[in-house]
Structure 1
Amino acid sequence: MARVRYLGPEQVTVPELGRTIEPDEIVEVPDDRFEGYACQPSNWEVIEEPRAAEPEPLPPLKKIAAKPQKTEG
């Protein structure tokens, strides 16, 4: 979860979080909704951005046998 600080002068009810937020309070917000808070810099200060999702590991490469070298003879 990401974290933001409320910068407003009065408490505000945030339905998405299901509670009232006090001035200067730091709250956790869902990662997928983080941009909705970060895009309001006059109301919310970013404290901790969402963590980047772990990338899917690539499948192992298939090794191809080397062609036999020609022997002189």
Structure 2
Amino acid sequence: MARVRFIGPEPVTVPELGGREIQPDEIVAVPDERFDGYVCQTTTWEPVEEPALRGEHGPETVAFTGAETVAPKKTTRKER
């Protein structure tokens, strides 16, 4: 899980975190997939610990089978 710091001026209740009341300057754990939803609110949250990387190249790793790298055959349109 990732971690963020609440930098707002007064306590807030966060339904996504079980309805917990979060205090100013409190650090909380948030689901990795929701991290961006918090830190995009730059006047309210700041990143503390980014999501853990999954796999060698991060969470968006894509495996290619090789078929994707083969160029398609060109077809020509015969004139009448």
Radius of gyration: which is bigger?
A: 1
SS state at 2:16 partner: coil
Give unpaired runs (5+ residues) of structure 2. 64-80
Q: What TM-score comes out, normalization by structure 2 length? A: 0.67
The C-alpha deviation readout for 1:22-66, integer Å capped at 9, x for no partner, is 00000000001011001011100100000111248x8xxxxxxxx
TM-score by length of 1: 0.73
Moved over 2 A (4+): none
The separation in 1 between residues aligned to 2:35 and 2:48, in whole angstroms, is 11
Indicate the residue corresponding to 2:38 in structure 1: 37
Aligned mates of 1:35, 1:8 — CA distance in 2: 17
Aligned-residue identity in percent: 63
1:12: which partner in 2?
A: 12
Q: What is the CA deviation profile of residues 8-28 of structure 1, one whole-angstrom value per residue up to 9, with x for unaligned ones?
A: 110000000011100000000
CA RMSD of aligned residues (A): 1.5
Q: Which runs of 5+ in 1 are unaligned?
A: 59-73
In structure 1, what residue type is equivalent to 2:46?
E
